[in-house]
Amino acid sequence: MASGGKENRMVFDIRGRRRNAVKVVYAVLAVLMGLSLFLVVGGFNLSELFNGSGGTEAGKEFEATATRLERELKKEPEDPQKLLALTRARVNAANSYYEIGPEEERTPTAETVEQLNLASDTWDKYLKATDEPTPGAAQLMAPNFILLAQNSKTFPEAQTNLEAAAEAERIIAEQRPSLNSLTTLAFYVAVLGDKKEAQKLTKEAKPYAHTKFERENVDNEVKRYEETGERFQAERKATEKKERKEGAKGNPLGSSLSSVPGLGE
């Protein structure tokens, strides 16, 4: 979260045990952003998800829009269209605060994560306010929930964001079933530890495959995510057990996690 001091602080500018913890969580979840969007069906144009860009000034404009929408929502707190517009405004603000590297790589800043957390809160309200969430909005939110999971401070927080990503991806898969949407959902639920559901989704996805290679690739990748999920869930349970034993002292994502081999590799 942004809080005074130097603006646009890098999310991963961290020290000590926190660095080791983030590396592990990032390693587990970064594979979701990579393979689930790119491997099965080829290149995925991330620019479709990033409607807002242009730096701090653009971000402030989107934040101003969000503030106006929040005032309007005080009169109509359950208006799904305004809630959706507010969600998009927060995501656009988040996208504007990315740090752009020399190779045009995008690195999230603390302001990016702050705006995405606000978008997450509004998205939850939107889902409660509508019986028909739009798949386009879900497609906007799913990868951003993965980003929030990557930047979570605890395993429970990462788990919650992963579940939100799966929920958003399920909206897409149900309304726009395809090889990509169904396998992406399978990958998410596999990391969440639900092998049965992952296998079910894999079977539903295969008819959308055009080649034998694609069908076999789905099986191979789901198996990989299941293995990643086993490690992730095992570490989550071990960390929660340790946290209860120690009375929630210190960072539950401590340096012990750095010994986990090969997550996401």
pLDDT, averaged across the chain: 77
CA-based Rg of the chain, rounded to a whole angstrom? Answer: 19
H or E element, residue 108: none
pLDDT at 10: 41
Distances from the Cα of 100 to the Cαs of 10, 106, 107, 127, 240, in angstroms?
Answer: 11, 5, 7, 32, 36
pLDDT digits (tens, 9 = 90+) for 8-20: 444 433 344 444 4
Provide the token pair at 107. 């690195």
224 class by beta-carbon count within 10 Å (0-12 exposed, 13-18 middle, 19+ buried): middle
pLDDT digits (tens, 9 = 90+) for 139-165: 999 999 988 988 888 888 888 999 999
Nearest-CA neighbor of 230 among 238, 241, 219, 240? 238
pLDDT (average), residues 124-138:
96
HSE-CB at 208 with a 13 A cutoff on CA atoms is 17
Q: Decide the pairing of beta strands 99-100 and 106-107.
A: antiparallel
Q: With 80 as the cut, is the pLDDT of residue 21 above it? A: no
SS3 content of the chain, % helix, strand, coil (to 5): 70, 0, 30
pTM over 0.85: no
Looking at 1.10.287, 1.25.40, 1.20.120, 3.30.420, the CATH number of the domain 16-259 comes to: 1.25.40
List the domain boundaries for the chain: 16-259
pLDDT digits (tens, 9 = 90+) for 224-252: 888 888 888 888 888 878 877 876 543 33
| DSSP-assigned letter for residue 228 | H
Q: Please give the single-letter amino acid code of residue 255.
A: S
Q: Which residues pair with 107 in a beta bridge?
A: 99
Provide the token pair at 176. 């726009």
